[in-house]
Structure 1
Amino acid sequence: MGAGTTHGFRPGPRLIDLANALGEDPALPRDALAALLVAHGEAPGDVTEDGFDERDAAALRAAVARLRARVLAEPDTDRAARALNALLEECGARPRLSRHDGHAWHLHVDRADDAGWADWFTASSAHALARLLSERGRVAWGVCAADGCARVFLDDGPGTRRRYCSPACASRARVAAHRRRRREQPPAGS
């Protein structure tokens, strides 16, 4: 778990992708979860049925749902920080470099190399979000503000806080607001 790649290990985007996939399908099959993990740097051999079974998948689904509810949906910085601290403490998070199963050296923040998938995922995701919060001094993620969209996102750029998961949702929201304002304007000459 936690394989480093030549492009670096990015647990924040991995959390967002899994949270959005599970937001669309809370019962996402084990194979689809495994494919998402591989897309984020896990070795395909680590997520076979032998190393990542249905029980692991169920625990991972629950961990993602918990992170989404307790942290990703929390707009208040102080409450988010307290939730992250509680998750890190619960997982016994202690940063350490690890090189296991033929992987390059990479950062782990879980109890040990044999920690379960859910424990590993929760610890590394909480650590990534805690780093973002400390770097920005505020919550740097959120739930899309567009009507009908519940996707989560990372606000990983400088400047104004991001409110939408994508340019498409931002554009739809602007168009809807413009149309609403036009409907509410009194007719010319009244």
Structure 2
Amino acid sequence: MEQRGEPWGGFRPGERLIELANAVRADPELPREAMAAVLARHGETERELRGLTEGEAAALRRAVAALTEQVLAQTETDRAAEALNVLLERCAARPRLSRHDGHAWHLHVDRGDDASWADWFTASAALALARLLSERGDVAWGECAAPGCRRLFLGAGPGAPQRYCSRACATRSRVAEHRRRRRREG
């Protein structure tokens, strides 16, 4: 259950997590079909998605909500690291290479190709976030700071911490702040 992609860096489990987390935040009862559509955009095949039953979808929704609450909502690096360690301990196994269902070789950290969707998703998302945190030395995700926007995002890279989910939210916030300053000044 991983994405085929470019030979180096085409698989993006962090982006898959953020997209599914935003979808579940917007609709806590996100239908199985909508979840499958997100997973398909991230490389899951129609054959694999047949295994995403209504029961598996409900467990996956709960896993995504737990990842959001326990890790993605964390802004403090040490707490995020501790939460990731708990998840990795609970869900992960020794890393292994897997090639199944027509996918290229890719890394799995779940307990086997027959792991539940929730366990597979939690393990791969926790590993992706742990890698990001270890590479940056800090939390590499957040919630948009724009008023009225609660979208989650992954940081774009080194430099100043990202505060907004998109350029549109950043621009809207800067323009609103500029207008507030002008009204106060004049």
Q: TM-score, normalised by structure 1?
A: 0.92
Following TM superposition, by how much is the alpha carbon of 1:126 offset from its aligned partner in structure 2, in angstroms?
A: 0.5
Following TM superposition, by how much is the alpha carbon of 1:116 offset from its aligned partner in structure 2, in angstroms?
A: 0.2
Which structure 1 residue ranges, 4+ long, deviate > 4 Å from structure 2?
A: none
Following TM superposition, by how much is the alpha carbon of 1:2 offset from its aligned partner in structure 2, in angstroms?
A: 1.8
Counterpart for residue 65 of structure 1: 65
* Alignment root-mean-square deviation, CA: 1.3
Following TM superposition, by how much is the alpha carbon of 1:61 offset from its aligned partner in structure 2, in angstroms?
A: 0.7
Counterpart for residue 169 of structure 2: 169
Unaligned 5+ residue runs, structure 1?
none
Following TM superposition, by how much is the alpha carbon of 1:22 offset from its aligned partner in structure 2, in angstroms?
A: 1.3
Counterpart for residue 184 of structure 2: 184
What is the identity, as a one-letter code, of the residue corresponding to 2:48? D
| 2:6 counterpart of 1:10 | no
Counterpart for residue 121 of structure 2: 121
Counterpart for residue 45 of structure 2: 43
Counterpart for residue 110 of structure 2: 110
Which secondary structure state, in structure 1, belongs to the residue aligned with residue 127 of structure 2?
A: helix
Q: How high is the sequence identity, in percent, across the aligned residues?
A: 67
What is the identity, as a one-letter code, of the residue corresponding to 2:157? G
Following TM superposition, by how much is the alpha carbon of 1:179 offset from its aligned partner in structure 2, in angstroms?
A: 1.8
Following TM superposition, by how much is the alpha carbon of 1:3 offset from its aligned partner in structure 2, in angstroms?
A: 3.9
What is the identity, as a one-letter code, of the residue corresponding to 2:113? D
CA distance in 1, matches of 2:31, 2:149: 22
Following TM superposition, by how much is the alpha carbon of 1:93 offset from its aligned partner in structure 2, in angstroms?
A: 3.3
Counterpart for residue 82 of structure 1: 82
CA distance in 1, matches of 2:104, 2:36: 20
| 2:119 counterpart of 1:147 | no
Counterpart for residue 91 of structure 1: 91
Following TM superposition, by how much is the alpha carbon of 1:4 offset from its aligned partner in structure 2, in angstroms?
A: 2.7
Asked which structure has the greater CA Rg, the reply is: 1
